[in-house]
Amino acid sequence: METQANDGLRERVRAPAVSPVAPAAFAYFVYFTAVGAGWPYLPVYSQALGFEFGIIGALTALAAATQLVTAPIWGALNDRFSTGRWVLFAAPALAAAAALALAWAQVLPAVAASLIALYVGLAGIAPMLDARTLSILGADRMRYGRVRAWGSISFVLAAWLVGILIDRTSPAGLFYVYVPALALTALATLPIAPRSLVHSASMFRGGQTLLRQRDLAMFLLAALLVWTALAAANAFYSLYVVSVGGSAEAVGLSWALGSAVGVPIMWALPALAGRFGAGPLLVAGAAVFALRAALAALFATPEALVAIAVAEGIAFGLFFTLGVTYVARHAPPKLGATAQGLYSATIGLAAVLGSTAGGIVAGAASLRGLFAVCAVGSALASVAVWYAVRGDEKAEVLA
C-alpha cells in the first residue's frame, strides 16, 4: 500500500497539472499565425494577379458575405453538438484545403470560388474557439483577453516574417505559411475540452432569442458601424502602404506593430475594466479607430503608416476583446457559441459593407481620401457605442 502511494505521489510530481485553457491558448497561437500570414497580404496577392481596386474590394466583400452567412451556422452547430470535437476541427480543416486551392488559382472565377470555400471554414474558427474558451473560463471571463493575447503574439511574428518572405520571393510566398498553419490549427483544436452544456434551440430560434435582448441588439448595431468603418480602412491599408512606396516588409511591420501593442492591452484588461469600467473602454476603443484613420489620412508615408498602426492595436485590443466578453455576458449559457457567431456575422456584414464602399471611395477619391472618410465614420460610430452601453451595469464590469 505504501509503495503504491509513493508511486502515485511520484506520478503527480512528474506530471504537473496543465491549465485547462492551455490547449485553447495554443490553438489561438497557431490560428493567428495563419491570420498573420494571410490577412495583411491577400490584397497584395490579388493586386499581383492583376485585379483592380474595385475587384479587390468586391472579393473582400464576397469573403465577408460568406462569413456573414456561415458564422452563425457554425456557432449553432457548436451549441447543438456541444459535447463533440468534430465541429471545431472541421472549420480549420476546410479552410486549409481551400487555402491550398487558392494558392493554385490564377483566374477570377477560380479565385472567387476558392475564397468562398476558405471563408466558409474561417468563419467558424474564431466564434467556436471563443465560445469554448469562455466556457472553460466560466465566471472568470475577463481572463479571455490573456488567452486571446497568444494569438496576437503569433500574429506579430507571422505578419513580420511573411513580409520578409514575400520581399524575397513573391506575394504567393504567403501560402508557404498560411496553408500549414491552418492545417495545424485543425489538429490543435482536438485537445480542447468540449462544452458540457445541453443542446440549444435551433439556430433561428436562438438568434431570435438573442436579438430580442435590447442591450445586446443595440450593441451589435453600434458594433456594425464600428467594424464597417474599420473594414473599409483595413481592406486597403496594405495597398496604401505599398502605394506610398512601402515594401512588403513595411506592410508586415505595420500589422505586426499594431498587434504587438494589443498584447499588453489584452493582458491588462481585467485591471483596466476594474478601474475604468468596460463600457467606457469600449467607447474609447471605437474612438481610437477614428484617430488612427485620421492620422493615416494626414501622414501618408511608409514610416508614418507603420507608426500609426500603434493606434489600431490599442483600439482592437480594447474594442474586439471587450466586445466578445460583452456578448458572452449578455447571452444565455446554452447560446454562447450562437451569440459569438452572431457577433462574428456582424463583423462579416460590416466587412461586406465596408470593403465594397471602400473600393468605391478609393477609386473615386484616392486611398488618402478613403481614410479621411473612415475617420468621420469611426467618430460617428463611437458615439453609437456610447449610446448602446451607457448606463448598462453589465457593461461596467464583465468579470
pLDDT of residue 200: 47
> Range of 54's domain?
21-396
Q: What's the grid cell of residue 126?
A: 474564431
Residue 87 has pLDDT above 60, yes or no: yes
Give tens-digit pLDDT for 172-214: 999 999 999 999 999 999 888 665 544 444 455 655 666 667 7
Q: How deeply is 3 buried, as exposed, middle or buried, from its count of CB atoms within 10 A (0-12, 13-18, 19+)? A: exposed
Residue 7 covered by a domain: no
Residue 8 covered by a domain: no
pLDDT of residue 381: 94
Q: Are 311 and 257 in contact (CB under 8 A)?
A: no
Percent of the chain with pLDDT over 90: 33
Residue 79 covered by a domain: yes
Residue 12 covered by a domain: no
- pLDDT interval class at 333 (50, 70, 90): low
For the chain, the domain total comes to: 1
Give tens-digit pLDDT for 5-17: 455 544 444 544 5
CA 159, CA 153: separation in Å to the nearest integer?
10
SS3 state at 300 = coil
- CATH at 222: 1.20.1250.20
CA 142, CA 165: separation in Å to the nearest integer?
36
Q: What's the grid cell of residue 192?
A: 480542447
Residue 11 covered by a domain: no
Length of the chain: 399
- pLDDT interval class at 93 (50, 70, 90): very high
Mean of the pLDDT values across residues 148-167? 87
Residue 3 covered by a domain: no
CA 95, CA 116: separation in Å to the nearest integer?
10
Q: What is the pTM of this model?
A: 0.69
Q: Taking Cα atoms as reference points, which of 176, 51, 70 lies closest to residue 116?
A: 70
Residue 196 covered by a domain: yes
- What mean pLDDT, rounded, does the chain reach? 83
Residue 135 covered by a domain: yes
CA 160, CA 249: separation in Å to the nearest integer?
7
